Structure 1
Amino acid sequence: MSLIAGLLTLISVSCTKKIDLYPITSDVETNFYKDQKDCLQGLTAAYNVLLWDAPQNQNIPFQLVSEVLGDNCFTGGANATDIPGTLRIDRGQIRVDDLAPKAFWYKYYTGIYRCNLLLEKMPAATFDSPELRNRFTAETKFLRAYYYFDLVRLFGNVPLLTKTISSSEYNQKQSSPEEVYKQIAQDLTDAIAVLPSYKSMPTTELGRATSDAARGLMMRAWLYYTGYYNKPELPGVPATKILEISETLINSSGHDLLPNFADAFVNTPPYNFNNKESVFEIQYSSLAYSGNFSYREEANGNLSTMLWSMRDPSAASIYAAGWSFAPVDAEFYNKFQANDARRAITFILPQAQSVSYTPGYQDSKIFPNKWAALKVNNSSKGNVALNYPNHFIAIRFSDILLMAAELQLLHGGSAGKAQQYFDKVAKRPRPTDYVSPAVSLDAIYDERNLELALEGVRYWDLMRRGNAYAQSKIDINRGEPFISKFNAAANGLLPIPDQEIIVSNRTLVQNKGY
């Protein structure tokens, strides 16, 4: 019996009711996006991809994987074979058929597709005002730039898609990084011109992209592109312009440092989300109540919280059980002086709190504290692991100040301003009699490593100072199992997923080193 005949037989003997031929919903792409309500849903869908820590069911929060790629964290997990692909990421041995690169590719092109679709549909949709349409358009361009920036940093050579494509067009050629960064710069320029500033945002809208978030992302993209590719400027954005952008953000946005470093990382209710130090913040939430491990893209919780936390902490402690991935290198912890207030906020030392736990692979007895799994945050519905509400600050104002210090120092600005911005960050967590060192690129990098610890920034800082510099920091061999290695042959990039090369009819070209 053929498969079709078998299915027909099954239907004939098991169904007593007429088959319902009506769709579950009448909202499909061809008749959706007709008004601003529809477009708001489309914009929400574009934002939603920011929350995808496990696309295609792979545990790959961008910030955590970035730390494993860098020099401050190892692999972790229950044992060396827990997620073998993560160990290969840590040791510069990623395979072209590994699932993590494939999942990243899927995540970011899904986000880009949702942005492109909305940009195509909005011109014909009905809005109450042209200003609202323009704002939605600018937010969508910010998100597209955000997704492309992560994508091009991970893979280097990617197709640049600014419109939706059909399945017959999947054989897209890769664009040059310069073309991709030119589009990122244009999208962010458009967003800066239209989006409201942080200081004008009502409380109910905090978390949405602002002109200041676009300025911050432009600064980050500018420094990365000029550093990694050894270029004098981001396409279309000369040094004078990026200095102007940074000055506007610092002096006119309403953003500032909070008085205490700890205030930026309040992990218990009522939290301190979307505070003035947060320039752009990913709005994780427990409200999806997800319990579906086979489709984790529906979850809105911060998966890094679970992945990074200790296994089986003692029942009397405040901590919930995690999976102990990306254990912190003890040598990194030792770079923090005892009188640096950031040390206690950044790290948990369970033994110092008389908390027992089950050691995982490469256990260093040190865990992240900025997004720790706490019992008070355990969701009452769905699966606890998928529903932690800890937000992630993707761009903090302290990062803005340190990037601005670097721009002022090295790209035609004022050495005095560079020192001023550096001092503002360096002095906050230290005793009042602390004297900052003279500002230099090395001093800025050292301060960035302490200030932005475990926030997914370090690897990309190393990459933008060149292969040799990155390799000198990342290559670690203290004997098994504490080994990390930088893939210099691949210039630190991930491989293009082999499945994507096949689907493109081999139009896509594999990155060198794979």
Structure 2
Amino acid sequence: MITDTVADTQFSTAEGLDEALIGAYVPLRGFYGREPGMLMNLYGTDLFQEGQSYNSEWDTYGAGLNSSTVLSPSGDELVWEPFYKGINYVNTVISRAEDIPNLDQSLKVQKIAEAKFLRAHYYFVLVQHFGPLHLTLEETRKVELEAYRVPEAEVYEAIIADLTYAIEHLPSQQPQYGRPTQIAAVNHLAKVYLTIGNWEKAASLAIQVITSGRHRLLDQYKDVFDPFNQRHEEVIWAVQWGDNPEVNNPGNELQRYFAPRQWLLAGLIGDDMYHTGIARFWPTDYALTTLFGNDYRKEGLHIRNDTRYSVTFKEVWEYNDAPNLPQGKSIGDTAAWFTNDPIIQEVPDADVAKYPYRLVRIKDRNTVNSPTVQKHRYPYTRNNGRDYMYMRLAETYLIASEALMMQGKLDEAAFYFNEVRKRAAFPGMAIPLIRPEQLSIDEILDERGRELCGELHRWTDLKRTGKLIERVRKYNPYGGPNIQEHHLLRPIPQTQIDRTKNDFAQNPGY
């Protein structure tokens, strides 16, 4: 499928082997820090919908999915090609490591373990989205024109085998931040077992991570997303960027895709923290109201006792463009308020213009103005970026809770659930905790939505729990009318089908 044309000599030394291993990380940036990861994990869910996009079919489940192998208008590849390239880099490391003379045995198995962790991750993402896959565990050294899809169960067997090897051979600490540790492999395997419904193993592994002492929940939810302290104790494994634009390609642009087009308002300009927004991804009405509990006049969980809405979404934009300030305005004055406040939603249309700033209620949102997820903000130029946290400990608690609930162990499940919720409370305020008998898969999904909103997990969460179709139809105004059973799998890229000599079947419905 992917041809490796690198000279044999490049990978004949320990240094060359590590170069190949570093190369295997690159596809992660193009997916998690760019539009592909957002389109495939946020669009077409209950929490996010299309803002201003050239790729609306991922939200609407429209006919364009049939030919959707590249992004518009950039022409960038989505996930299939880049991840299979990553897999071939990994396979190269694994196969060539055996042939390097005098390579220290412990170093060899550690590098192979790191490679197998990455291979497991690539296949895990692909199998969740595409179903049966071409499974290749050997390096591709020449053009191959045949490929065959194997059942999902066989792919998962390979994933589990790779992560098991990684658990056995990865170190407890890595000399370089960002390389996976042993506990990261344990956590990843917990996610895999949760996905395939092995609740006992998922719970056991998640609890092993929680009790290992290697990671902890930070004291306050807002601290998790501090752009000046990204590499903290809650992070289990993250995709790396940094402050040097020369080594950041492709850069992390998640904040830019989430942000509104604030620069279209007089007195506002893209800055080095929130950048120049392009309004691709909007929260749904459900995310802005029911999920977080926007009506604080009612009892229960809401935005006045749970910090996660105010940490996740930026509502207030302040003037920051001195040459273009409106008359009578100063730097730092409020320029726009994109709010879910329930009282403001009741303001009559005729009174909206009376406010001394641009007021945007939920019903006023458009392709320019909406609350923005601010978790991915970073204080540098566009091609410098923050890390992307693929695994953090709060999710591990929710994995344990879900897996225990599915086994009927409700008291234990409620304990891990409430550890996450308690951390979300405003300091000094009580927050409603869940009782064991209240637990359900919908409660788990809602809590994951509040805790992980905008963190690129939602589509696979909904699919895994059997709730994708139900929730999209209920809460997504664009995808709801069109989503069908066959949309539980993505279409195989036509380029893959065309270049395969044998019959490489398309997924049903496309």
TM-score normalised by length of structure 2: 0.80
Alpha-carbon offset, residue 347 of structure 1:
0.4
Q: Name stretches of at least 5 consecutive residues in structure 2 with no aligned partner.
A: 72-76, 293-301, 319-332, 337-357
- Judging changes above 3 Å, is the alpha-carbon distance between structure 1 residues 477 and 150 closer, same or farther for their aligned structure 2 residues? closer
Query: What is the alpha-carbon distance in structure 1 between the residues aligned to residue 36 and residue 204 of structure 2?
Result: 33
Name 1:252's counterpart in structure 2: 212
User: Is 1:436 aligned to 2:433, yes or no?
Assistant: yes
Query: What is the alpha-carbon distance in structure 2 between the residues aligned to residue 178 and residue 326 of structure 1?
Result: 33
Name 1:349's counterpart in structure 2: 315
Specify the code of the residue in structure 1 equivalent to 2:136.
L
Kept in 2: contact 1:90–1:484 (CA 8 A): no
- Judging changes above 3 Å, is the alpha-carbon distance between structure 1 residues 402 and 478 closer, same or farther for their aligned structure 2 residues? closer
User: Is 1:449 aligned to 2:433, yes or no?
Assistant: no
DSSP 3-state at the match of 1:43: helix
Name 1:274's counterpart in structure 2: 231
Name 2:126's counterpart in structure 1: 151
Name 2:380's counterpart in structure 1: 377
Name 1:92's counterpart in structure 2: 61
Q: What pairs up with 1:91-130 in 2 under 5 angstroms?
A: 91-93=60-62, 94-100=64-70, 103-126=78-101, 129-130=104-105
Specify the code of the residue in structure 2 equivalent to 1:341.
T
Query: What is the alpha-carbon distance in structure 1 between the residues aligned to residue 82 and residue 14 of structure 2?
Result: 26
Alpha-carbon offset, residue 492 of structure 1:
1.8
User: Is 1:29 aligned to 2:7, yes or no?
Assistant: yes
Q: What pairs up with 1:190-339 in 2 under 5 angstroms?
A: 190-197=165-172, 200-201=173-174, 205-226=176-197, 233=198, 239-267=199-227, 271-289=228-246, 299-313=249-263, 314-315=268-269, 319-334=274-289, 335-336=291-292, 337-339=302-304
Query: What is the alpha-carbon distance in structure 1 between the residues aligned to residue 455 and residue 60 of structure 2?
Result: 20
Name 1:420's counterpart in structure 2: 415
Kept in 1: contact 2:285–2:475 (CA 8 A): no
Encode CA deviations 1:81-135: one digit per residue, 9 max, x unaligned: x51xx21110112432223486311011011111011111111124652111111
Kept in 2: contact 1:90–1:485 (CA 8 A): no
Kept in 2: contact 1:160–1:180 (CA 8 A): yes
Query: What is the alpha-carbon distance in structure 1 between the residues aligned to residue 368 and residue 386 of structure 2?
Result: 24
Alpha-carbon offset, residue 243 of structure 1:
3.4
Specify the code of the residue in structure 2 equivalent to 1:490.
H
Kept in 2: contact 1:351–1:365 (CA 8 A): no
Encode CA deviations 1:268-290: one digit per residue, 9 max, x unaligned: xxx21221111111112342437
Kept in 1: contact 2:284–2:475 (CA 8 A): no
Kept in 2: contact 1:501–1:508 (CA 8 A): yes
Name 2:321's counterpart in structure 1: none
Q: What pairs up with 1:13-28 in 2 under 5 angstroms?
A: 28=6
- Judging changes above 3 Å, is the alpha-carbon distance between structure 1 residues 478 and 175 closer, same or farther for their aligned structure 2 residues? closer
Kept in 2: contact 1:327–1:363 (CA 8 A): no
In angstroms, what is the RMSD of aligned CA positions? 2.7
Query: What is the alpha-carbon distance in structure 2 between the residues aligned to residue 213 and residue 485 of structure 1?
Result: 39
- Judging changes above 3 Å, is the alpha-carbon distance between structure 1 residues 490 and 146 closer, same or farther for their aligned structure 2 residues? same
Kept in 2: contact 1:471–1:486 (CA 8 A): no
Alpha-carbon offset, residue 360 of structure 1:
9.0
Specify the code of the residue in structure 2 equivalent to 1:472.
E
- Judging changes above 3 Å, is the alpha-carbon distance between structure 1 residues 361 and 494 closer, same or farther for their aligned structure 2 residues? farther
DSSP 3-state at the match of 2:462: helix
Name 1:21's counterpart in structure 2: none
Kept in 1: contact 2:215–2:233 (CA 8 A): yes
Q: Name stretches of at least 5 consecutive residues in structure 1 with no aligned partner.
A: 1-26, 227-232, 234-238, 291-297, 379-383
- Judging changes above 3 Å, is the alpha-carbon distance between structure 1 residues 483 and 499 closer, same or farther for their aligned structure 2 residues? closer
TM-score normalised by length of structure 1: 0.79
Alpha-carbon offset, residue 491 of structure 1:
4.0
Name 1:10's counterpart in structure 2: none
Kept in 1: contact 2:46–2:286 (CA 8 A): no
DSSP 3-state at the match of 2:490: coil
Query: What is the alpha-carbon distance in structure 2 between the residues aligned to residue 175 and residue 37 of structure 1?
Result: 35
Alpha-carbon offset, residue 255 of structure 1:
0.9
Kept in 2: contact 1:311–1:360 (CA 8 A): no
Encode CA deviations 1:218-270: one digit per residue, 9 max, x unaligned: 111112222xxxxxx3xxxxx54443322221111411100011111012xxx
- Judging changes above 3 Å, is the alpha-carbon distance between structure 1 residues 419 and 478 closer, same or farther for their aligned structure 2 residues? closer
Identity across matched positions, percent:
24
Specify the code of the residue in structure 2 equivalent to 1:315.
I
Name 2:352's counterpart in structure 1: none
Name 1:67's counterpart in structure 2: 42
Name 1:458's counterpart in structure 2: 458
- Judging changes above 3 Å, is the alpha-carbon distance between structure 1 residues 476 and 420 closer, same or farther for their aligned structure 2 residues? closer
DSSP 3-state at the match of 2:42: helix
DSSP 3-state at the match of 1:423: helix
- Judging changes above 3 Å, is the alpha-carbon distance between structure 1 residues 511 and 486 closer, same or farther for their aligned structure 2 residues? same
